[in-house]
Amino acid sequence: MAKVDTSLVAHLPLFAGVKPEALDEILREARSVRYPKNTAIFEQGADAQSFFLLLHGHVRAAKTTPAGEQIVVRYVAPGETFGLAMAIGAAQYPATAMAVDDSVALIWPNSAWPRLTERFPALAANTMQTVGKRLQESHTRILEMSTQQVEQRVAHALLRLASQSGKKLDHGIEIDFPISRQDIAQMTGTTLHTVSRILSGWESQGLVESGRQRIILRDPHRIVVLAERNPGSGAA
Amino acid sequence: MAKVDTSLVAHLPLFAGVKPEALDEILREARSVRYPKNTAIFEQGADAQSFFLLLHGHVRAAKTTPAGEQIVVRYVAPGETFGLAMAIGAAQYPATAMAVDDSVALIWPNSAWPRLTERFPALAANTMQTVGKRLQESHTRILEMSTQQVEQRVAHALLRLASQSGKKLDHGIEIDFPISRQDIAQMTGTTLHTVSRILSGWESQGLVESGRQRIILRDPHRIVVLAERNPGSGAA
DNA sequence: GGCCCGTTTTGCGCTATCGCAAACTACTGG
DNA sequence: CCAGTAGTTTGCGATAGCGCAAAACGGGCC
């Protein structure tokens, strides 16, 4: 079983309020697994057997309709948990998780969850907070989809990605994992064609620089303006 | 302080696994409050001071944009909790709650939450489950908004309301609280005009019977067909 | 019984966005 | 270095649904 350095994870929200020796005990139950780029970590509908803490890389959680359309539920950044089916009382994973980059995750068997939360209530409390936060983010997303038009939603999505997983450059912010037009479409409820048109437009205005699975926000400030502009009033 | 009969609430999911005497202790910390139709219970953005368990009536939770547009987050049915800001670590309520009918709720001060969950871990566990379920429902809603067209979304919304708060009639199911075209629009991300057109169409086909703030599903089975019909067929 | 007000219905033009199809890159693997 | 393939761009209709405006409705209140 791979050793995990406690000092690397002690500061994560998941472990807030957990004593170092307790942390050690918790980590002893986990193993560390490497997922090469574009490998599935678990599939929607599969029996949930483990829960995860991402250490390196990026993971996309996506939900698929019976008809095969997908939406991206979220991108998981290092330090975040995912696959918490057990914690919320789901027997199957409600989405598919896929490494979009070479990734490493800590993985616990679900059977460890009841014991761990009983021994370390802070774990349960912290998890409750993150689930609550995700719920609020979902509601915000629903609000956006209901009230904003596509361009604003794409602006919001990119800004969120940038603040969550942006690499600061001399001049702009780069989203530091591969992401396609299709992915952005699935985050914002539109089509890859429309996303492509929007980004092309932005590119010609110098707002972004983008290529194959790569996006750099060159002028985040003006993108914020786009995101917040209120269609019901302003001039074009 | 009003007495609450434990037998009336003992079977609720919130109290699953809680012993009768413990339940008694929990209820002793709550008081019961009556909210007349169309009164606000709490406002989005207000400091969260209490959490609630609805006993009678119906409550609408809605989120408002800075620009004033609203969406309905959910309708709360009797037996469900709401206003759980404290549990998920939010200092302010993220939405506005309004009684859409004369309603009665149990109300606990947030200060009671840490003590109660410490003494009765089942409470925390049950709450985690319901929050998790709501998160999944949110994701489902996002999926629907991304992939379905308005008519299907309205069909889904009405079927959900019917199964959650439907009164069975000789011939059909009536949604047993007042709900306007506008409300349905805010649940499905469309406008009251479009909802009105859709319901008019359905009415002329005998699928529903509806009037001022009142909706009866006359042929739920055919509405299910509408909800599930797949417009295109493409995979993504 | 009649008036007032909130809700619902409906007509009509408009446009943001989709859907399809085709051309165009830019990596990847050999 | 080249071919193959996945991702991207773009043109051109087609259209679902919006937005405005006005009329019809229904019910409660005096």
Query: Could you tell me the pLDDT band of residue B2, with boundaries at 50, 70 and 90?
Result: low
Exposure string of A120-154, with b = 16+ CB inside 10 Å and e = fewer, is: bbebbbbbbbbbbebbbebbebbbbbbbbebbbbb
Average pLDDT value for residue range B48-63 = 97
Residue of B nearest to A232 (CA): B67
| Burial annotation A28-64 (CB, 10 A radius, 16+ → b, else e) | ebbebeebeeeeebbebeeebebbbbbbebbbbbbbb
* Longest CA span, chain B: 59
CB contact under 8 A, A186 and B236: yes
CATH classification of the domain holding B161: 2.60.120.10
Distance in angstroms (rounded) separating the CA atoms of residues B16 and B11? 7
**Is the residue at B93 inside a domain?**
yes
Flag whether A1 is in a domain: no
Same domain for A40 and A107, yes or no, is yes
What are the pLDDT digits (tens) for B166-224?
Answer: 999 988 999 999 999 999 999 999 999 999 999 999 999 999 999 899 999 999 999 99
Residue B87 DSSP class: T
Check A129 against B89: CB less than 8 A apart: yes
Give the other-Cβ count within 10 Å of A77's Cβ: 15
Closest chain B CA to residue A122: B118
Q: Give the model's pLDDT for residue A58.
A: 97
Residues 120-139 of A with CB under 7 A from strand D: none
Q: Do A178 and A223 reside in the same domain of the chain?
A: yes
Tens of pLDDT along A174-185? 999 999 999 999
Nucleotide nearest to B149 (CA to C1'): D16
Q: What is the pLDDT of residue B231?
A: 63
Residues A40 and A154 in one domain: no
CA–C1' gap, B212 and C4, in angstroms: 17
pLDDT band at B55, cuts 50/70/90?
very high
3-state SS assignment for residue A224: helix
Can you tell me the distance from the alpha carbon of A216 to that of A158, in angstroms, rounded to the nearest whole number? Answer: 10
Residue A14 and residue A127 in contact, taking contact as beta carbons nearer than 8 Å = yes
Strand C protein footprint, C-beta under 7 A: A 149-151, 189-191, 193-194, 211-212; B 180-182, 192-193, 196-197, 199-200, 203, 210-213, 231-232, 234
Burial letters for B57-66: b for 16+ Cβ neighbours within 10 Å, e otherwise?
bbbbbbbbee
Tally: H helices and E strands in chain A: 8, 12
Question: Closest chain A residue to B122 measured between Cα atoms?
Answer: A118
Q: Choose one of B137, B162, B185: the last residue of a domain.
A: B137
Contact criterion met (CB below 8 Å) for B108 and B185: no
Residues A57 and A164 in one domain: no
Q: Are residues B129 and B159 in the same domain?
A: no
Measured between CA atoms, how close is B170 to chain A, in angstroms?
Answer: 33
Nearest to A51 by CA among A19, A26, A18: A26
In this model, does residue B54 exceed pLDDT 50? yes
Radius of gyration of chain B from its Cα atoms, rounded to whole angstroms: 19
Angstroms from B230 CA to nearest CA on chain A: 8
**Domain range spanning residue A165?**
148-228
B180, A137 in Cβ contact below 8 A?
no
Work out the mean pLDDT of chain A and round it to a whole number. Answer: 94
Which chain A residue shows the shortest CA-CA distance from B187? A146
* Section B55-66 average pLDDT: 96
Task: Look at residue B5 in the predicted model and tell me its pLDDT.
Answer: 75
Q: What is the pLDDT of residue B233?
A: 42
Q: E strand or H helix at B224, and its extent?
A: helix B220-228
- Pick from B65, B128, B146: which is nearest to A147 by CB? B65
pLDDT of residue A141: 98
In a domain, A224, yes or no: yes
Residue range A86-142, pLDDT digits in tens? 999 999 999 999 999 999 999 999 999 999 999 999 999 999 999 999 999 999 999
Of B73, B121, B139, the CB nearest to A94: B139
Task: Give percent of chain B with pLDDT exceeding 70.
Answer: 95
Q: Do B216 and B115 sit in the same domain of this protein?
A: no
Q: Of B102, B137, B172, at which residue does a domain stop?
A: B137
Would the pLDDT of B155 be above 50? yes
> Do B16 and B116 share a domain, yes or no?
yes
Separation of alpha carbons A2 and A20, rounded Å: 18
Which tens digit of pLDDT belongs to each residue from A160-175? 999 999 999 989 999 9
Nearest to B70 by CA among B195, B192, B214, B156: B192
**Residue B191 and residue B212 in one domain:** yes
Q: Is the predicted pLDDT of residue B232 greater than 70, yes or no?
A: no
Q: How far is CA B193 from CA A96, A110, A150, B196, in A?
A: 37, 48, 21, 5
- Contact between A69 and B118 using a beta-carbon 8 Å cutoff: no
Q: Do A142 and B146 touch (CB under 8 A)?
A: no
Using DSSP's 3-state secondary structure scheme, residue B102 falls into coil
How many distinct structural domains can be found in chain B? 2
Which residues on neighbouring strands pair with residue B167, listed in sequence order? B174
Same domain as B214, residue B153: yes
On whether the CB atoms of residues B59 and B103 are closer than 8 A, the answer is yes
How far is residue A67's CA from residue A105's CA, in Å, rounded to a whole number? 31
Quick: pLDDT tens for A19-61. Answer: 999 999 999 999 999 999 999 999 999 999 999 999 999 999 9
* Amino acid B3: pLDDT: 64
B236: in domain = no
Q: CA–C1' span, A229 to D20, in Å?
A: 22
- Give A145's contacts in chain B (Cβ within 8 Å): 142, 145-146, 189
- The mean per-residue pLDDT over the stretch B144-157 comes to 97
Handedness of CA A107, A175, B135, B131 (dihedral sign): positive
Asked whether residue B87 falls in the same domain as residue B115, the answer is: yes
Nearest to A135 among B67, B124, B138 (CB): B138
Residue B235 is predicted with a pLDDT of 35
Q: Is residue A235 part of a domain?
A: no
B209: CB within 7 A of chain D nucleic strand: no
Residues A179 and A96 in one domain: no
Residue B20 lies in a domain: yes
* Strand C bases, protein C-beta under 7 A: 6-11, 16-21, 26-27
Interface residues 171-230 of A with strand D (CB < 7 Å): 180-182, 192-193, 196-197, 199-200, 203, 210-213
Residue A236 pLDDT: 33
Model confidence band, residue A7 (pLDDT cutoffs 50, 70, 90): confident
Helical (H) or strand (E) element with A82: strand A81-82
Mean pLDDT (whole number) for A200-208:
96
Domain stops at, among A83, A106, A134: A134
- Mean pLDDT confidence for B129-139: 98
- The angle formed by the CA atoms of residues B27, B3 and B6, to the nearest 5 degrees, is 50
- pLDDT for the residue numbered A233: 45
Q: What ipTM score was computed for the predicted complex, to two decimals?
A: 0.94
Place of tokens 């969950």: B117
Give me the phi and psi of A28, to 5 degrees please.
-65, -20
* Same domain assignment for residues B152 and B133: no
Chain A nearest CA to B88, separation (Å): 5
User: Which nucleotides in chain D lie less than 7 Å from some protein C-beta?
Assistant: 7-11, 16-21, 26-27
Confidence of residue A229 (pLDDT cuts 50, 70, 90): confident
Number of residue pairs across A and B with CB atoms under 8 Å?
A: 125
Percentage of chain B modeled with pLDDT above 90: 92
Q: Which residues make Cβ contacts (< 8 Å) with residue A45, sequence separation at least 6?
A: A92, A93
Q: Which residues of B touch A73 (CB under 8 A)?
A: 139, 142
Taking CA atoms, what residue in B is nearest to A188? B146
